Amino acid sequence: MYENSRLIIDSSNPPESGEIIWRSPSNIAIVKYWGKYGIQLPKNPSLSLTLASSITDTRLSYSLKAEDDAAISLDFEFQGEPNEAFAKKIVAYLESLSAVFPFLRQLDLKIESGNSFPHSAGIASSASAMSALALCLCSLEDRLFGTLQDPDTFDKKASYLARLGSGSACRSIYPYAAVWGETPSVAGSSNEYAVCVADQLHETFKDFHDDILIVSQDEKSVSSRDGHALMDGNPYAEPRYAQARTRMGLLLDAMKAGDLEAFGKIAEDEALALHALMMTSNPSYILMRPDSLAIIEKVRQYRLDTKIPLYFTLDAGPNVHLLYPGAHVQDVRAFIEQELSEHCDSGYVQQDWVGEGPEEL
């Protein structure tokens, strides 16, 4: 889609060395993406809220190579330390972009990346990390060639590139909320990249909180990559994809109208459907933990008792995201402290909220 053999640095007029820094957030899907085809393409559309405090900062430093060779030259650090496993993944990612960014082979690159949250905490660090890197690469292209001056064109390409690194990362490019995957409910929606739907949100959802209860920081028994692959043999896969497409329209209607009850029902149903798919895969697996279920039961009882619109969702892991309007922050956080933190690993809760998207630093 973005192959461009003309993006080659003129060695007779080399660029000065420089650096680019982007901060990009994670996101939490309400309608879930689970199951893919091709190269990171979704079997159903998804909608996510963009977070604010769960972020990755990425610094990309670059200089022209002293010698002409075709290898990707990368020095990588995570949280201030070399990380060979991550470095190998990033090199493979950059190699895969050689037709899009042929100039990367002409540069010595250094990438320094760090999170505001523990990498193992299950807060979709791949979404924040790969979106931050994609934004750095687009800024680098624009700095060297002046080809991405239009903000919409820049964001679209960054979302496309982020998807190639991590599917959910394509949604982190945009403020407030994004849709990824073709759906008649959103004009211009695509499987190749996400689109912003902030202009379709009731103001209530622009002041939403997401407090993330970290039930476990252990590595998952089944990775998201393997979980997506298991959808190919899941007997409920096709009904699930149809269900997600239907819920997408219903969710957008609820979020336009500010209908918290309809929003919350879809959010919770989607979370449980995601984990039901794991339990009906072959082989089956369970990522929720007893404390995940205890939290869910307490949240539902709290909502019944107080009438406060507090809802849960989960990603592909045991940790529980609590979603609620900002007007209720004091009550909900007191409830978390008094009733729910005992179910968290070392009492760890990541307080977050809907945010304005990435920023260049």
Mean per-residue pLDDT pooled into runs of 10, the chain (361 residues): 90 93 97 96 98 96 91 94 93 96 96 83 81 98 97 98 97 98 97 98 97 91 91 96 98 98 98 97 96 98 98 95 98 98 94 97 96
Q: What are all long-range contacts of 280-283, with beta carbons under 8 Å and residues at least 24 apart?
A: 280/234, 280/235, 280/236, 281/227, 281/230, 281/231, 281/233, 281/234, 282/230, 282/233, 282/234, 283/230
What is the count of structural domains for the chain? Answer: 2
Residue 15: cis peptide before it, omega within 30 degrees of 0: no
Among the candidates 173, 200, 227, a domain finishes at: 200
Q: Do the beta carbons of residue 45 and residue 248 sit within 8 Å?
A: yes
Flag whether 1 is in a domain. no
- For the domain that residue 220 is a member of, what is the CATH number? 3.30.70.890
Same domain, 58 and 84: yes
CATH number at residue 83: 3.30.230.10
Residue 326: inside a domain, yes or no? yes
Do 280 and 138 fall within a single domain? no
What's residue 121's pLDDT? 57
- pLDDT of 219: 81
Given 144, 173, 200, the domain boundary residue is 200
Residue where a domain stops, chosen among 155, 182, 200? 200
**Same domain flag for 223 and 345:** yes
* Domain around 37: 18-200
Shared domain for 184 and 284, answered yes or no, is no
**Letter string b/e over residues 294-304, b meaning 16 or more CB atoms within 10 A of that residue's CB:** bbbebbeebbe
How high is the pLDDT of residue 119? 66
For residues 103 and 214, membership in a common domain is answered with no
Q: What is the pLDDT of residue 336?
A: 98
- Give the residue from 318, 277, 311 showing the smallest Cα distance to 121: 318
Residue 132 sits in the same domain as residue 214: no
Same domain, 31 and 177: yes
pLDDT of residue 184: 97
